Amino acid sequence: MTQLGIETTPIPGLLVLRLPVHQDERGWFKENWQRDKMVALGLPDFGPVQNNVSYNARRGATRGIHAEPWDKLVSVTTGRVFAAWVDLRRGDSFGTTFHIEVDPSVTVFVPRGVGNSYQALEDGTSYSYLVNDHWRAGISYPAVHLGDPEVAVPWPIALDEADISDKDQRNPMLADVVPMEPRRTLIIGSNGQLGRALAADFPQADQVDLVGTDPVLDLTDPTAVGAWPWQDYDLVLNAAAYTAVDDAETPEGRPACWAANAQAPAVLARLAQEHRFTLVHYSTDYVFDAAADTHDEDEPFSPLGVYGQSKAAGDLAVGTAPRHYLLRTSWVIGEGRNFVRTMQSLAERGISPSVVDDQVGRLTFTGELARATRHLVESGAAYGTYNVTNEGPATSWADLAREVFRLAGRDPGDVTPVSTEEYAAGKSLAPRPARSVLSLDKLARTGFVPEDALTALVRYCQHEPAS
Catalytic residue among 66, 275, 281, 324: 66
Say if residue 357 is exposed, middle or buried (CB neighbours under 10 Å; 0-12, 13-18, 19+): buried
Q: For the sheet containing 206-208, what is the strand order? A: 206-208, 184-188, 233-238, 278-284, 324-329, 384-387
Instruction: Give the angle 435-437-438 at the CA atoms, nearest 5°.
Output: 135
Pairing status of strand 62-66 against strand 114-120:
antiparallel
Q: In whole angstroms, give the CA distance from residue 432 to residue 396.
A: 13
Residues 6+ apart with CB under 8 A from 443: 372, 386, 387, 388, 450
Beta-carbon contacts of residue 22 (< 8 Å; ≥ 6 apart): 1, 28, 29, 30
Residue 66 a catalytic site member: yes
282 catalytic per annotation: no
Q: Is 27 left (phi over 0), alpha (psi -120 to 50) or beta?
A: left
Whether the Cβ atoms of residue 159 and residue 151 lie closer than 8 Å to each other: no
Catalytic residue among 129, 233, 325, 423: 129
- Amino acid sitting at position 422: E
Give phi and psi for 77, each to the nearest 5: -105, -35
Angstrom distance (rounded) from CA 162 to CA 158: 6
Catalytically active residues, by annotation: 66, 129
